[in-house]
Structure formats: C-alpha cells, structure tokens
Chain A
Amino acid sequence: AQKITQTQPGMFVQEKEAVTLDCTYDTSDQSYGLFWYKQPSSGEMIFLIYQGSYDEQNATEGRYSLNFQKARKSANLVISASQLGDSAMYFCAMREGLYNQGGKLIFGQGTELSVKP
C-alpha cells in the first residue's frame, strides 16, 4: 500500500507568489515524522522542514511552512514568495520510528515545481 501520496506530478508558480504542494500519508503508528526534501538537478536531497506527529503547531522554516492536518493525514508544503531557485523536485517523506531504531524514510513520488519569472 502506498504510504506517501503526492498527486501533483508537476506544478507551475509565478515568481513571488505562494504555492502549495500536496502530500497525504498512511500509517497506523501514533509516533511518526513527516518531512519535505528538495532535490535540484544536481541530485542532492536538501532537507526543508520537519513535523512530528505530536507537534500541535504547524512547522515553519523561513519561507517554508507545513500545513499539518492530522485527522485528514495530510502534510502539505507551502512555499511563500517563490523564487527562481525554488525550481526543483520536491519530495514528501514519512519516518516511522527513530533513525537509530531503524526508522527509515519512505518517500512519495515527488512534485516537480517550476517557477516562472
């Protein structure tokens, strides 16, 4: 069963506007973590933002915020004031368990974001 679903293969946004990238997840665990990573054409996975399942407030990191709706099992990424350098692949991921307990990241299929000047 697909644990992370990203339904938008590609998205366009005008420079300086906000954009929302969708992510839904499936887990029966009470404790889990949700992540967004950015992958530019260079290939490196760049950590953007993290939300723990027990965190009551939505996570924010600069221009990135995570719209966490636990009951709906969604963890959408909002990028405000888009910049040309934001053009990249974006992956939503979930971790069940801590890393040092073997909790691995499970990734979605990704959304390719293109920022237009």
Chain B
Amino acid sequence: GAGVSQSPRYKVAKRGQDVALRCDPISGHVSLFWYQQALGQGPEFLTYFQNEAQLDKSGLPSDRFFAERPEGSVSTLKIQRTQQEDSAVYLCASSSPWTDATNEKLFFGSGTQLSVL
C-alpha cells in the first residue's frame, strides 16, 4: 500500500488479556516509531526501530509492553495483561531511509484504538 497501515482499527480487550497490534510501514522505510495517544492528549513516544534493531524503548510504560520488528518491515506492539490505563490510540509512524535533512516527513498510520474493559 501507499501509506502506513495499522490493524486492527479497533480492539476491545478484557482486563488481563494480551493484545497484539500490527504496523505495516511504507515499503523501504528504515525508521519506525510507536506512539501512544490518550484521549485528548498529544501522542507520546513509546519505542523506535531502525530496521530490525530496537534502538530506543525508553517510552514503554512497563514491562508488559513489548515491540518487535523481526525482518525490518512489519512491526508488532504487544501488551500483556492489559489494564484499563492502557486504553488509548496506538499510532505507528515511519520515515524515509534518506539522511537528507530536507526529507522531514514522518508518515503516520490511522492508529489502533484500544479499549480495555
């Protein structure tokens, strides 16, 4: 596809369930980011991949959150034992492989809205 694709679009989970959120970045994009956006707030950084390497996971709120990108393309964000405070929109974004600073766009997907009951 032409853009960043995320699935599912909506996810309802019971407290304590595990969930997996998928991100399919734009083909060839090296950098991939996950963000968490609580209702009425700006997105907050969770983690960053360069190809398959997870170079920054400083934003992951707890060890229940785990992300992977094993082949350097599709990424999965997994949340174990979900809790109500995990309810948010999870956004994935990717950027071009070019190091040229004039290419500044970060392309976002439409997000996965997670509701934990």
* Chain A contacts to B: CB under 8 angstroms: 4, 33, 35, 37, 42-47, 50, 52, 91, 93, 95, 98-100, 102, 104-110
Q: How far is the CB of B75 from chain A (nearest CB, A)?
A: 15
Instruction: Indicate whether B91 reaches chain A with its CB closer than 8 angstroms.
Output: yes
Instruction: Indicate whether B95 reaches chain A with its CB closer than 8 angstroms.
Output: yes
- Residues 55-82 (chain B) with a chain A CB within 8 angstroms: 55-56, 59
Contacts across chains A and B counted by CB atoms under 8 Å? 65
- Cross-interface CB contact of A110 among B42, B104, B105, B113, cutoff 8 Å: B42
Asked if A100 and B97 make an inter-chain contact with CB atoms under 8 angstroms apart, the answer reads yes
A47 neighbours in B (Cβ, 8 Å): 105-107
A-B contact pairs, 12 of them (CB 8 A): A33-B104, A44-B111, A45-B93, A93-B42, A98-B101, A99-B31, A102-B50, A102-B55, A104-B45, A104-B56, A107-B42, A108-B42
By CB atoms of chain B within 10 A, which of A44, A91, A93, A110 has the most? A44
Q: How far is the CB of B71 from chain A (nearest CB, A)?
A: 18
- Cross-interface CB contact of B42 among A100, A104, A109, cutoff 8 Å: A109
Q: Using CB atoms, name the residue of chain A closest to B91.
A: A45
Known: A35-B104, A43-B111, A47-B105. A100 touches B31 (CB 8 A): yes
Q: Using CB atoms, name the residue of chain A closest to B111.
A: A43
In the bound assembly, the distance between CA atoms of A110 and B44 in angstroms comes to 12
Q: How far is the CB of B57 from chain A (nearest CB, A)?
A: 11
In the bound assembly, the distance between CA atoms of A45 and B43 in angstroms comes to 10
- Residues 25-66 (chain B) with a chain A CB within 8 angstroms: 30-31, 33, 40-45, 48, 50, 55-56, 59
Asked if B55 and A107 make an inter-chain contact with CB atoms under 8 angstroms apart, the answer reads no
Known contacts A47-B105, A95-B104, A109-B41; 13 further A-B pairs (Cβ under 8 A): A44-B108, A45-B43, A91-B42, A99-B106, A100-B30, A100-B95, A100-B99, A105-B45, A105-B93, A105-B106, A107-B42, A107-B44, A108-B42
